[in-house]
Structure 1
């Protein structure tokens, strides 16, 4: 029999990991002395190889434990299911990497980054697919698809523009600029959207029930409550003023 130290050297698995596997019931030593020293034999090596193989394939320890204890395991079905789960994780990792690359590009040459605004943009990047689906419940599908395609083709320009104009609005609130100057920033913010699409968005928005609540879990607002109320007041004042002029 081998001591836990000898077994560790032979297998390349740390003593700490072997003790953890013992505690979890994954790999029990062949013998434990009255003083608590663990001893292992060749049969333990076979079990350990199975554990390491399943770990390499991405199985969590809880699943490995049940798989080792099951004599009639349908390995093929289990492997197919595990492959599907790993493909999902792969897609998530690829999306995370793409988001990080985009975030790095956005943060370049930025002397100071406003955390709330930046995180709002990153949140939108992460949840873009869910937002796309959600907007289809409010706006015509072809309009949403066209906007999505345009956004993906110009994602860096769009997000940088959004970052810059949002920061301008927050600075306008801090300085309490006149409403006319604030409205110019708002116009600048939406100016990146082609006029024909912006017109369609405005018309389609009129058809949305006033009581419709936005799914806040999909959107991370970069403004404080005070900033939102300030901006809403200016926008309402502008709209009412426009109606009076008519």
Structure 2
């Protein structure tokens, strides 16, 4: 360090904008060791301390923790190690940004929904948030098994469209829970099946539905595993039976040939 120790800790703090408390901590952990005045024992700093502190502040800004910074400052070839680790930092922050974007999207859609509904059952609301959280994984899957164009149509909807679909999802979920257990042929239950299929078609779109129709059962199950459900196991089973009965009645599904026609 510089032999000319021109700054007390108070003056050094004012010059650098780093608090005395932080300077004490950096000194204690050996990240920025002050020199001690032989007679008074007070901490003293020089110009070399400023240079080192600037490196610490810059690396901290880039997202490195203090332990990583300490190791990097020991490296005589900081530029080389910085180049390698910055690539990792860039990837990590891109992932964090994606996560924050998803969180903000979930918050905005949830606030819009709560502002338009008197009360949303907690299990339905949490399910909706979980599905927004998993949209990126769903999009990647759909791009792989269908196309990017189809995935964009499914997930690049306007705020107005999303709010309308979210409200419809909440209303349908309420109806499923209210009617669960009734005979599948009940007129009100079959009307629910019709609404459920229409809502699914509206959300996914005909192109995606057509693409799904060409996939294997295990591939469909893989996609469905990414979609959270607000229903109990019994409600899921009942809803499946209701929709199958509806599709058979209207010639949309033949259980013997395992063919589906949603048009």
TM-score scaled to structure 1, two decimals?
0.71
Structure 2 partner of 1:224: 232
Q: 1:185 to 1:28 in 2, by over 3 A?
A: farther
Q: 1:241 to 1:216 in 2, by over 3 A?
A: closer
With CA pairs under 8 Å and 6+ residues apart, which has the higher RCO, 1 or 2?
1
- Kindly tell me the number of residue pairs found equivalent between the two proteins: 237
Give the Å deviation of 1:142.
7.3
Q: 1:66 to 1:199 in 2, by over 3 A?
A: closer
Q: 1:110 to 1:29 in 2, by over 3 A?
A: farther
Matching of residue 77 in structure 1 with residue 83 in structure 2: yes
Counterparts of 2:157 and 2:67, CA distance in 1: 42
Counterparts of 1:54 and 1:195, CA distance in 2: 45
1:34-45 correspondence to structure 2 within 5 Å: 39-42=43-46, 43-45=48-50
Q: 1:217 to 1:235 in 2, by over 3 A?
A: closer
Q: Tell me the alpha carbon deviations over residues 110-138 of structure 1, each in whole angstroms, 9 at most, x when there is no partner.
A: 33222332222223223323212213455
1:135 to 139, 142, 148: 142
Give the Å deviation of 1:103.
2.1
Q: Where does structure 1 lack aligned partners over 5 or more consecutive residues?
A: none
**Secondary structure in 1 aligned to 2:78?**
coil
Structure 2 partner of 1:164: 171
Matching of residue 185 in structure 1 with residue 192 in structure 2: yes
Give the Å deviation of 1:55.
1.9
Matching of residue 123 in structure 1 with residue 130 in structure 2: yes
Q: Tell me the alpha carbon deviations over residues 208-241 of structure 1, each in whole angstroms, 9 at most, x when there is no partner.
A: 3334442566322221222212222333444566
Give the Å deviation of 1:178.
4.7
TM-score scaled to structure 2, two decimals?
0.67
**Secondary structure in 2 aligned to 1:108?**
helix
Give the Å deviation of 1:108.
0.8
Counterparts of 2:152 and 2:96, CA distance in 1: 29
Q: 1:72 to 1:204 in 2, by over 3 A?
A: closer
